Chain A
Amino acid sequence: MTDETTAVILAAGEGRRLEPLTNRRPKPMLPIADRPLLEYVLEAVADAGIDRVVFVVGYERDRIQTHFGDGDDWGVEIEYAVQETQLGTGHAVLQAEPFVDGPFLVLNGDRIIEPSAVESVRRTLGESGEGSGSDEIAMAVSRSPTPAEYGVVTVENDLVVDLIEKPEREPPSELINAGVYGFTPDVFEAIRATPTGADGEQSITAAIAGAIDDGAVRAVRYDGLWLDVTHLWDLLSVTGRMLDRSGGGIEGSVAESATVAQAAHLAAGARVGPNATVGRGATIADNASIGANAVVERSVIFPDATIGPGAVVRDCVVGANATVGANATVPGGDATVIVEGNVHEDVRLGGVVGDNAHVGGGAVLAPGAILYDEVDVAPGASASGTVEQGTQIRRG
């Protein structure tokens, strides 16, 4: 194995379950401690010594291209393969075919992992490349307390013998597909030979089912960090987790009388006004502003957003260029949230304020309120539940 290994990172997906935050940006660009999910994946790849990277992009790809450019800031060379329509992970991998020669890695662009996952899959792929069949596949497997939400794998003698996507019955094991694969170019043929699924998509897991039957998929055990953002509230918990690890950091300007907690992150162009409090688990992005006396805890504030004086914002996501007016309140806490028809009880989500939305002075968001883009809540009004894009909420 040489340094010529290419890492293909899948970043074309839309992330519907994370609306409204994914209305204007793809899921891999959601920020964790002020850096996109995709940046964590890229860093794991770069730290593992790989310097050739292909991003498969599609939905809102401008956002990814503008942030990452040609990869120079990360010491890697990024090329872009465009998946015009999102027809599954297998289809996405096919888009990278012109950029790949020899064995390569595939990673999900929206799961935080550590470099060791990349290193061990690469090593296993290198070992199997010599002597054994050229259709060998390596797959990182990890343990999850909630395996049923992912692809559950059964491993025997270091080989994957079974893979069931999101099983409805009791999962046969707690091991899941961690979404880091090592392939040879033979996989492209396997994807093409796999019939399209009932949902009209070509998935990568369907394409390797045959290889599993042939005993050609090696399991690579990985017990490092593995974080996924499936739902809006995960954005807050994963942010908290990463800030605990990194300790946060203050780069922006903070008024002398303000307080910023240790495990909080303040970007370079962010501002915190007099007597304001930025608590644990909060991230304030570039050019965002926290007014005097405001309290922001365990919340993610996107770029260009404004939190007015005296506002209280807890367990909340405030989208790009959104405004929370003076003395508005997002008290935070547990809520019942319905996403795409599924009811999620007791999730900790104070609220979501979509991009360019406006919450008027003194307004209140009930726990779990999700305001889509450009919603306008009048001063003193209160909002709850899911509010469609552009809606105006008046007092009453």
Chain B
Amino acid sequence: MCGIVGYNGAQRALPLVTEGLQNLEYRGYDSAGVALSNGTLDVYKRSGEVSALLDALPESADQYRGIGHTRWSTHGPPTDANAHPHTDCTGDVAVVHNGIVENYDELKSELEAAGHAFTSETDTEVVPHLIETALADGKSPKAAVQWAVGRLEGSFAVVVTMAGVDALFATRQDSPLVVGYGDDGAFVASDVTAFLEHTRDVTYLADGDLAILGASDGQTAGDVRIERDGEPIEPERETLEWEADAAEKGGYDHYMLKEIHEQPSALRQALSGRVDPDAGTVDLDLELPAEYVGSLEEVQFVAAGTSNYAARYAAELVEELADVRATVEIASEYEFDGGRDPWRTLVVAVTQSGETADTLAAIRKASRAGARTMAVTNTLGSTVTREVDDSLFIRAGPEIGVAATKTFCSQVATMTMLSVALGRQRGTLSSDRASEVLSDLRGLPGAVQQVLDRTDDVEEVALELADSDAFFFVGRWLGHPVALEGALKLKEISYDHAEGFAAGELKHGPLALVTPETPVLAVLTEGSRPEQTLNNVKEAQAREAPVIGASSGDGAGQYLDVEWPVPDAGLLEPLITNVYWQLFAYYVADSKDRSIDKPRNLAKSVTVE
């Protein structure tokens, strides 16, 4: 949930660390801090956004080593004291940490009994005190870090700096950490975004790896040594392709609006070189054995949040096109159970970041049960890609806005290709039908652009309805996940009450909530059983609710207060509708001056369970 950055090299550390924190701010933002070390250690930390910390920092500082952290509270409220870095009793050891120390109660009691004084309510603070204990026992700094980390249970990424010690120490367990090799210094961070402007040459640490950045045992400041099981290893270095500054807003007021507008090009990237509509074939570069695909009894999706809704869309398509049972589980609720045959179940984890803790936990359960696993993700080199048998990339490019937009679109498009590939491989999908679906896919970027061309219309309606009591999104079949996603987007960024329903459920309860002050937004396209949904729309309209419909056919207009046209795209029409819902949510939130890119209490990549 939180962000970590560290630097050790030939440049002054303060500007590099604060820049890294600003780049990471989207991950969590209720407090932030920095520790700088040379012969002594200076720590600065504040609750609030990174800008509050910047006010508390000196203009410049001499140190060449530093670590920083942005925090999203798990243990203890966001206060100055609870902000990272945390220090030991001597004030010579500073630690930043992501994740959860599960045995911290026990460790804290033990340390307190030994006379250590704690100043925060965080689980993290046990780490510097453990290191202090080990140093007092005469251990070397490296051995002290290893001993302390060995005492921890749970998930963590930890970076340590000490007064008078020329190296930074970084290690991880179930929480991401990546080392960057700069021209004249080394970086470590929870996410490459922190230092992408300085280097793209990186190594992702594996669980248990210890990275030593800088001048220790004959290294110079920019050197990095990585040890696994106590032995130095030759790290696997990767060169990242993402543009650092693709993470800049480029004239848009918010990343979210920028990312909404990037959908046509993101979709073209997702499709490029993968589909041949004329032949009805898809090439996803997966190595699923034919006999395995043929014998599948179930495709089980696991995902959280928006990715979960993308998975629901995909599950319907898998059943429709590949003729195999498909289910969707909320990642945090997942168990491999219900009498499934692991040899005939494909478990697909859908996660934008590839680091979502709930989804990783679920995919590990599936692996342990013996099922084949696949990841659908946006992030090369992410943890999930190392845990699954096959990875399928959505190629959406970096998404900074906390509210997912283009990645939903690219996830569904990519999984549509997967459905077609499975259907063709299983022999359950005719090449004619495959060709039709793939033509619709190819038409998707242009269709989404047509919706974006109507942005002004959507803005006008959004401003008119912004002050409504609540918003209800309805749809059937493929329109149902889109209704859920539309409501989620609105509530995430505007803080308004919004709910998505299967349209048929309206009359089984929610209709009681419908009033003239509650707009109803309906999916009325192909793939969403529009005629039936129209009956539900009439029920809402009879209660004088304003009704907005996105439709691709004729005849719905007379029952709608606002009708937005959706270009013909078969089963993908509900996905196109979602772009209207995104724009609607954006303009409702913008009219209320909300913190659209960083909604309160939310973080982009949820790396705690």
Q: Which residues of A are at the interface with B, using a C-beta cutoff of 8 A?
A: 24, 55, 57, 61-62, 64-66, 68-73, 78-80, 253, 268-269, 271, 273, 286-287, 289, 291-292, 303-306, 320-321, 356
B243 touches which one: A66, A73, A286, A303 (CB < 8 A)? A73
A268 touches which one: B272, B443, B446, B567 (CB < 8 A)? B272
Does B248 sit at the interface, judged by CB under 8 A? Answer: yes
Does B65 sit at the interface, judged by CB under 8 A? Answer: no
Task: Quote the shortest CB–CB distance from A203 to chain B (angstroms).
Answer: 25
Point out which of B250, B271, B442 has the most chain A C-beta atoms below 10 A from its C-beta: B250
Task: Let me know if B446 and A57 touch, CB within 8 A.
Answer: no
Secondary structure at the B interface, as helix, strand, loop or mixed, is helix
Does B273 sit at the interface, judged by CB under 8 A? Answer: yes
CB-CB nearest 10 A-B residue pairs: A321-B446, A304-B446, A72-B245, A69-B250, A80-B251, A65-B251, A70-B248, A269-B272, A287-B268, A66-B261
Per the bound structure, the CA–CA distance linking A55 and B277 in Å amounts to: 39
Task: Let me know if B248 and A72 touch, CB within 8 A.
Answer: yes
Per the bound structure, the CA–CA distance linking A157 and B246 in Å amounts to: 48
In the bound complex, residues from chain A placing their C-beta under 8 Å from that of B447 are 321
Per the bound structure, the CA–CA distance linking A368 and B251 in Å amounts to: 38
Task: Let me know if A287 and B250 touch, CB within 8 A.
Answer: no
In the bound complex, residues from chain A placing their C-beta under 8 Å from that of B455 are 62
Per the bound structure, the CA–CA distance linking A69 and B247 in Å amounts to: 9
Task: Let me know if B251 and A304 touch, CB within 8 A.
Answer: no
In the bound complex, residues from chain B placing their C-beta under 8 Å from that of A69 are 245-246, 248, 250-251, 258
Task: Let me know if B445 and A304 touch, CB within 8 A.
Answer: yes
Per the bound structure, the CA–CA distance linking A305 and B452 in Å amounts to: 17
Q: Residue on B with the closest CB to A82?
A: B251
Task: Quote the shortest CB–CB distance from A339 to chain B (angstroms).
Answer: 23
In the bound complex, residues from chain A placing their C-beta under 8 Å from that of B277 are 289
Task: Let me know if A289 and B453 touch, CB within 8 A.
Answer: no
Task: Let me know if A303 and B248 touch, CB within 8 A.
Answer: no
Q: Which residues of B are at the interface with A, using a C-beta cutoff of 8 A?
A: 243-246, 248-252, 258, 261-262, 264-265, 268-269, 271-273, 276-278, 442-443, 445-447, 449-450, 452-453, 455, 567
Task: Show 24 A/B contacts (Cβ-Cβ < 8 Å), sorted by A.
Answer: A62-B455, A65-B250, A66-B258, A69-B245, A69-B248, A70-B245, A70-B250, A73-B243, A80-B251, A268-B272, A269-B269, A269-B271, A269-B272, A271-B276, A287-B268, A289-B277, A291-B278, A303-B268, A303-B445, A304-B268, A304-B443, A304-B449, A320-B446, A356-B450
Task: Let me know if A62 and B271 touch, CB within 8 A.
Answer: no
A289/B442 contact (C-beta < 8 A), A70-B249, A321-B447 known: yes
In the bound complex, residues from chain A placing their C-beta under 8 Å from that of B450 are 321, 356
Task: Quote the shortest CB–CB distance from A55 to chain B (angstroms).
Answer: 8
Per the bound structure, the CA–CA distance linking A214 and B112 in Å amounts to: 83
Task: Let me know if A321 and B250 touch, CB within 8 A.
Answer: no
A321 touches which one: B246, B248, B276, B449 (CB < 8 A)? B449
Per the bound structure, the CA–CA distance linking A345 and B264 in Å amounts to: 38
Task: Quote the shortest CB–CB distance from A272 to chain B (angstroms).
Answer: 11
Task: Let me know if B248 and A66 touch, CB within 8 A.
Answer: no
Per the bound structure, the CA–CA distance linking A292 and B277 in Å amounts to: 12
In the bound complex, residues from chain B placing their C-beta under 8 Å from that of A305 are 446
A62/B452 contact (C-beta < 8 A), A72-B246, A80-B251 known: yes
Other A-B pairs, 10, CB within 8 Å; known A70-B250, A269-B271, A320-B449: A24-B453, A62-B455, A68-B250, A71-B250, A73-B243, A78-B250, A287-B271, A303-B264, A321-B445, A321-B447
Per the bound structure, the CA–CA distance linking A286 and B265 in Å amounts to: 9
Per the bound structure, the CA–CA distance linking A78 and B248 in Å amounts to: 11
Per the bound structure, the CA–CA distance linking A321 and B249 in Å amounts to: 27
Task: Let me know if B443 and A72 touch, CB within 8 A.
Answer: no
Per the bound structure, the CA–CA distance linking A289 and B447 in Å amounts to: 15
Q: Residue on A with the closest CB to B243?
A: A72
Per the bound structure, the CA–CA distance linking A62 and B251 in Å amounts to: 8
Task: Quote the shortest CB–CB distance from A255 to chain B (angstroms).
Answer: 9
Task: Let me know if A287 and B452 touch, CB within 8 A.
Answer: no
A65/B245 contact (C-beta < 8 A), A287-B442, A304-B445 known: no
Per the bound structure, the CA–CA distance linking A253 and B248 in Å amounts to: 32
